[in-house]
Amino acid sequence: MTENVERKRLYWHSRRGMLELDLILVPFLEAQFEYLDRADQKRYEALLAEEDQDLFKWFLGREQPEDKDNARIVQLILAYARTPKN
């Protein structure tokens, strides 16, 4: 799969239909995904298979993911989301 097609697929899956998730996932994908190492890119891709309700709880800090890979990528996404943007 070409890089452009893969990027469009990730963008499509990052748009969840829940505004709160879209506002966290899409900017992270656009600004940070290409700078992640391959293991973290795989973690992001796997995270997109999770249920919206779980993602919502994790990003709001109501729960922590039990899976260590999910916990790592959620932590990276939240760190980016909390960083002031210019």
pLDDT digits (tens, 9 = 90+) for 20-52: 999 999 999 999 999 999 999 999 999 999 999
Ranking 16-20, 55-59, 76-80 by mean pLDDT, the lowest is 16-20
- pLDDT confidence of residue 1: 54
Task: List, in sequence order, the alpha helices (H) in the chain.
Answer: 3-14, 19-32, 38-47, 52-60, 68-82
Structure tokens belonging to residue 51: 């249920």
Task: For residue 43, count other CB atoms closer than 10 A to its CB.
Answer: 21
Q: 31: number of CA atoms within 13 Å, CB side?
A: 14
Segment 53-65 shows an average pLDDT of 96
Domain that holds residue 18: 3-82
CB 55 within 8 A of CB 21: yes
Q: What is the CATH number of the domain that holds 51?
A: 1.10.150.250
Number of structural domains found in the chain: 1
